[in-house]
Amino acid sequence: MKNKVIVALILFLMLVVTACSQGDSNDTEAAQEEHELTFHTHYVGNEGRAETIQAIVDEFNEEHEGRAKVVIDATPDPQTMYDKNRTSLATDTVADIFYFQHNPVDADRYYGSDKLIDLSPHLDDGWGDSFSPEGLDHGRYEDQIMAVPFESMMVPIYYNTELFADAGIDEFPTTWDEFFDAADKLMENGITPIATGTGENAWSTQLMYSYIVSSIAGEDLWELELDDEAFLEGARILDRMFEYSPSDAVGLTYSSYASYFINENAAMIVNGPWMISQFYEQGGDEFAEKVGVGTMPAYEGGKGEQGAVIAGVNFVLTGKKHEDPLKEEMAVEFMKYLTHTDNAKRLFLDSGALMEAANFEINEDDDADRISIDILENLQAAPYEFKHLINAKSTAVANEFPSAVSALALGEVTPEEFVEQMAGVEE
C-alpha cells in the first residue's frame, strides 16, 4: 500500500513539473512573439515626409526584430485618411498607431471612445518632457493623456520672388489693399496671382479664409459665431479672391493647384512646410531659390496684426488600446521612437516638417533648408498664432466648407448666404 502511495505521488509530481515546464515554455514563446503593428499614415508615395518615415519604420523594425514589426497602412489622400480614422471607431478597426488632425469635436470623439491607450503612465520616463505642457493639453481627456502632439504647423503664403519682380512688385504685401494691387499687376503680366481650389477639403482656400478673417477679427476669431460680421466681410474678400485664382478653381484638387505654383503659372499659394520638398523635387533647386515666405496682410481698421501666422499643433499621435499588454507596450515604444528628438530634427531637415518634439538645435553643419529657416524666423517674429478653420471647428463645418465656397465662387450664393450656410451646420 505504501509503495502505491509513493508511486502515485511521484506520478503527480511529474505531472506538475511537466505542466509548469510547459507553462514556462508558453510564457517564453508569448514573450518572444513578434507583434505586428499597423501605422496608419498618409506619409507615403510622393509625400514630402514619406521617405524619412519609411526609414524610421525600417530602423525601428530592425532594432525590435522578433518583438515588434510596424507595417504601414497607407492612405495617400489626407482627407480619406481622416474619414477612415473616424469610421474605424464605429467599426472597431482602429489602427494600432495613427494620428489625426486635432480639433475639439474630433478630440472628444476619439478620446471618449474608450478605444485608445491611456499614455499617462508612459510619460514619466522622460518622454513627456519632449513636449510642451500646452502641447500635451491637446491629448488631455479627464485625468488621462490619450494622445501626444505629433506635428506642428506654420502656414505661410509662399510667393515667387521672380514673378513678383517681373511684375514690378518689390516685396510681399503688408495689407490686403496692397495684396490686390499686386494681384492686378500680376494679372497684367499674364500670371495667375494665387493658386487655390475648392476640391477635396478646399485646403488652401480655407487657409486663406482663416487668414482674411483673422486680419479683421484678430487672434480670437474662433470665439465668434460663423455668421459674425467679421466672417461676412471675410467672405466678401474671399469672393473677390476668386477673380485672381485659376479659372478652373471650383473643384480643383490640391495636386492640381499646387502644380500651378510649382510650374510658375501662379505667383502665390498658401500651404505648410511639408510642401518644401515638392519645391525641390518637382520644381528643382532653381525654382526653390525663387520661393519667398509671406505672412498675413493687415486689414485696415481690423483687429489683426500684420505678420500673424496660422500655427500650432496640427496632428496628434495616438494608438489602439489592447488587451495584450505586450502589444500595447510595443505600440507605445514605436510612438516614442517616432517622436524622438533626433527623428523630429531629421524630419525637419529632410522635409521641412515641424514636428512637435522640436526641442532640437539647428547649426551650420546641419545644412538646413533656407525656406525652412525663413518659416521658423517668421514664426518667431509673429505677433500671434491662431488655428485654421479645419483645426478650430467641427467636422460638420469643415465638410460643409468645400460645397459652400464652391457655390460662392460660382456666384450661386452671396457672401451673406455663404456665412448663413456655414453657420447653419455649426455644432
Minimum mean pLDDT among 136-140, 362-366, 376-380: which range? 362-366
* Averaged pLDDT, 8-25: 41
pLDDT score at 336: 96
Radius of gyration of the chain (CA): 26
More confident residue, 105 or 302: 302
More confident residue, 131 or 62: 62
Cβ neighbours of residue 160 closer than 8 Å, sequence gap 6 or more: 261, 264, 267, 268, 290, 291, 292
Give, for 74, the enclosing helix (H) or strand (E). Answer: strand 68-74
Reply yes or no on whether the pLDDT at 56 is more than 80.
yes
pLDDT band at 384 (very low <50, low <70, confident <90, very high): very high
Strand 157-160 to 291-294 pairing = antiparallel
What gap in Å lies between CA 235 and CA 221, rounded to an integer? 14
pLDDT score at 8: 40
* Averaged pLDDT, 46-62: 94
- To which CATH superfamily is domain 154-310+374-424 assigned? Periplasmic binding protein-like II (3.40.190.10)
pLDDT in tens, 310-344: 998 889 999 999 999 999 999 999 999 999 999 99
Minimum mean pLDDT among 9-23, 26-40, 167-181, 306-320: which range? 9-23
pLDDT score at 31: 47
Residue whose C-alpha is closest to residue 268's, from 395, 155, 119, 349: 155
Question: What are phi and psi for residue 112, nearest 5 degrees?
Answer: -90, 5
State which of 89-93, 340-344, 416-420 shows the largest mean pLDDT: 416-420
Q: How many CA atoms lie within 13 A of 28 on its CB side?
A: 6
What gap in Å lies between CA 77 and CA 41, rounded to an integer? 9
Common-topology check for domains 30-153+312-366 and 154-310+374-424: yes
* Averaged pLDDT, 16-38: 58
* Whether the Cβ atoms of residue 344 and residue 149 lie closer than 8 Å to each other: no
Minimum mean pLDDT among 3-7, 79-83, 257-261, 262-266: which range? 3-7
Region of 367 please: left (phi>0), alpha (psi -120 to 50) or beta: left
pLDDT band at 32 (very low <50, low <70, confident <90, very high): low
pLDDT band at 103 (very low <50, low <70, confident <90, very high): confident
DSSP string for 282-349: IIHHHHHTTEEEE-PPB-TT-S--TT-EEEEEEEEEEEB--SSHHHHHHHHHHHHHHT-HHHHHHHHH
More confident residue, 281 or 194: 194
Let me know if 309 is exposed, middle or buried by CB neighbors in 10 A (0-12, 13-18, 19+): buried
pLDDT score at 21: 44
pLDDT score at 353: 83
* Averaged pLDDT, 228-233: 98
* Averaged pLDDT, 122-136: 90
Distance between terminal CA atoms of the chain?
A: 83
* Averaged pLDDT, 168-176: 97
pLDDT score at 14: 40
Residue ranges of the domains in the chain? Answer: 30-153+312-366, 154-310+374-424
- The SS3 assignment for 146 reads coil
pLDDT score at 358: 53
The C-alpha cell at 353 is: 516638417
- The SS3 assignment for 181 reads helix
The C-alpha cell at 10 is: 511521484
Burial profile 286-295: b = 16 or more Cβ within 10 angstroms, e = fewer: ebbebbbbbb
What gap in Å lies between CA 206 and CA 52, rounded to an integer? 29
The CATH class of 30-153+312-366 is: alpha beta
pLDDT score at 369: 87
As a whole number, the mean pLDDT across the chain is 90
Reply yes or no on whether the pLDDT at 202 is more than 80.
yes
pLDDT band at 61 (very low <50, low <70, confident <90, very high): very high
What gap in Å lies between CA 127 and CA 110, rounded to an integer? 22
pLDDT score at 357: 57
| Cell 501666422 -> residue | 309
DSSP string for 234-271: HHHHHHHHGGGS-TT-TT--HHHHHHHHHTTSEEEEE-
The C-alpha cell at 120 is: 499617462
Residue type, 144: Q
Strands (E), 114-147: 140-141, 144-145
* Proportion of the chain above pLDDT 70, given as a percent: 92
* Whether the Cβ atoms of residue 96 and residue 37 lie closer than 8 Å to each other: yes
pLDDT score at 427: 64
DSSP string for 27-70: HHHHHTPPEEEEEEES--TT-TTHHHHHHHHHHHHHHTTTTEEE
Strand 192-194 to 35-41 pairing = unpaired
- The SS3 assignment for 152 reads strand
Region of 66 please: left (phi>0), alpha (psi -120 to 50) or beta: left
pLDDT in tens, 263-274: 999 999 999 998
pLDDT score at 77: 87
Reply yes or no on whether the pLDDT at 17 is more than 50.
no
pLDDT in tens, 348-363: 888 888 887 556 777 7
Question: What are phi and psi for residue 176, nearest 5 degrees?
Answer: -70, -30
Reply yes or no on whether the pLDDT at 13 is more than 80.
no
Minimum mean pLDDT among 53-67, 346-360, 390-404: which range? 346-360
Q: How many CA atoms lie within 13 A of 237 on its CB side?
A: 26
The C-alpha cell at 135 is: 502641447
* Proportion of the chain above pLDDT 90, given as a percent: 75
